Amino acid sequence: MSIKKRLILSNLGMIIIPILSILFIDIVLVNIMLFVFHIAPNENLQLFLNLRFISFLIVLILTIGMLTYAVSKSIIQPIQKLAEAAEKIAHGNLDFSLQIKGKDEISQLTKSFETMRQKLKETDELNKKYEQNRRELIASISHDLKTPITSIKGYINGIKDGIANTPEKMRRYINTIENKATELDQLIDELFLYSKLSVNKVQYHFVPLDLKAFLQDYIDELSFDLAEKSGEISLHVEKNQYYKVLADRNHLHRVITNLIQNSLKYMDKETPKITVSLSSSEDYIKVGVTDNGSGIDQKALPYIFDQFYRTDESRNSSTGGSGIGLAIVKQIIEDHGGTVWAESEKNIGTTILFTLPKAGD
């Protein structure tokens, strides 16, 4: 019952109950005076009127008091609970719940208040998770930046101390320094890109792109590098299909590069094999990158696209990486209107798949 109806009924009760009580009091008093004290009311009218007035006054006071208490209790108690809840929230306590009873205005307010508390709790948990991720990022950056810098300093000191005392050693030291500097530059570039993606500051230049031709050019370029490492990469395409999308060429290149580098990074086979597949549906084009690596544990699979996440097997100095390569992939693909997911079997391999909307003719 709404508060408005409750107040109306309470006011009506304060009028109707006293009126009915007058009739009841008259009947009771007349019977008491006649049958108990054997006095006719008209013989002692003043006494009758006094008793009638006192009885009516008592009934009136009790009626007003009880109705006021009942109505105020139904309003004040819920408000007090809301005040206590607000006090808890003010002190940072969000681990409680409000019981919602009834359907009046205060119940609706309580429901809204409880929804707000739940949202605040969710936000608080997200903030804690963000803070944890921030700490992991700092630790990850510190480690991943320190490793190549330490190597560079070591080789420079080797040159200064005269350890590289032959042209061959000098060339090897300089090549190593160059490789470590390139690795450092790529890591900084990746972190910078991710920071821009996370705050939606990346500018995309979408153009019509033939995905089949794009992937074929990429694989032709990469196959020479893989051949030197006894690796293989191939493209499987469903024939007679339409593969044009609207995409940013540079960022799509980054997606494919991250996926293939991720496959090679965790490769445990002597002959790395990577297969890029391309298929088409009515509205989307699907791309898959499959490797024959160590695979990913099913428990870890749902989290590999989370920022800063790295599976336990990859947390070592040999693989390195910031743990944001696949997070970058996910953000870019979603910014293109697509989705990305992974399928994997332990010791057999992993397939990363993503979709992109088809472009119009």
d(CA 252, CA 250): 5
d(CA 318, CA 268): 12
Q: Is the pLDDT of residue 288 over 90?
A: yes
Bridge partners of 256, per DSSP, are none
Closest CA to 258 of 332, 356, 176, 311: 332
What local confidence, expressed as pLDDT, does residue 318 receive? 45
Let me know: does 74 contact 6? Beta carbons within 8 Å.
Answer: yes
What local confidence, expressed as pLDDT, does residue 118 receive? 85
**pLDDT tens across 187-225, in order?**
888 778 877 877 777 888 999 999 999 999 999 888 877
Would you place residue 357 in the very low, low, confident or very high pLDDT band (cuts 50, 70, 90)? very high
Walk me through the domains of the chain, giving residue ranges and CATH numbers: 3-93 (no CATH), 139-198 (1.10.287), 207-357 (3.30.565.10)
Task: Please count the other Cβ atoms lying within 10 Å of the Cβ belonging to residue 279.
Answer: 16
**pLDDT tens across 77-99, in order?**
778 788 888 888 888 888 877 77
What local confidence, expressed as pLDDT, does residue 278 receive? 93
Distances (CA, A) of 147 to 243, 315, 317, 353: 42, 14, 8, 32
Task: Please count the other Cβ atoms lying within 10 Å of the Cβ belonging to residue 168.
Answer: 9
What local confidence, expressed as pLDDT, does residue 314 receive? 42
Compute the average pLDDT of residues 335-345. Answer: 92
d(CA 18, CA 24): 10
Distances (CA, A) of 146 to 188, 189, 239, 307, 316: 12, 16, 48, 20, 14
The gap between the terminal CA atoms of the chain, to the nearest Å, is 61
Would you place residue 319 in the very low, low, confident or very high pLDDT band (cuts 50, 70, 90)? very low
Bridge partners of 334, per DSSP, are none
What local confidence, expressed as pLDDT, does residue 215 receive? 93
Distances (CA, A) of 309 to 125, 132, 151, 304: 18, 12, 25, 6
- Report the sign of the C-alpha dihedral through residues 37, 42, 43, 48, in that order: positive
Let me know: does 344 contact 296? Beta carbons within 8 Å.
Answer: yes
Closest CA to 63 of 5, 28, 24: 24
What local confidence, expressed as pLDDT, does residue 307 receive? 61
Q: In terms of DSSP bridges, do strands 232-237 and 273-280 run parallel, antiparallel, or are they unpaired?
A: parallel
Task: Judge if pTM exceeds 0.75.
Answer: no
What local confidence, expressed as pLDDT, does residue 315 receive? 39
Would you place residue 342 in the very low, low, confident or very high pLDDT band (cuts 50, 70, 90)? very high
Q: Reading across the β-sheet that carries 273-280, which strands appear in turn?
A: 232-237, 273-280, 284-291, 349-357, 340-345
What local confidence, expressed as pLDDT, does residue 281 receive? 87
Task: Please count the other Cβ atoms lying within 10 Å of the Cβ belonging to residue 291.
Answer: 25
Helix (H, G, I), strand (E, B) or coil at 320: coil
d(CA 336, CA 330): 10
Q: Is the pLDDT of residue 37 over 70?
A: no
**More confident position, 55 or 10:** 55
Q: Is the pLDDT of residue 146 over 50?
A: yes
The DSSP code sequence of 10-48 is HHHHHHHHHHHHHHHHHHHHHHHHHHTS---TTTTHHHH
Let me know: does 165 contact 123? Beta carbons within 8 Å.
Answer: no
d(CA 251, CA 222): 17
Q: How far is CA 233 from the centre of its chain?
A: 37
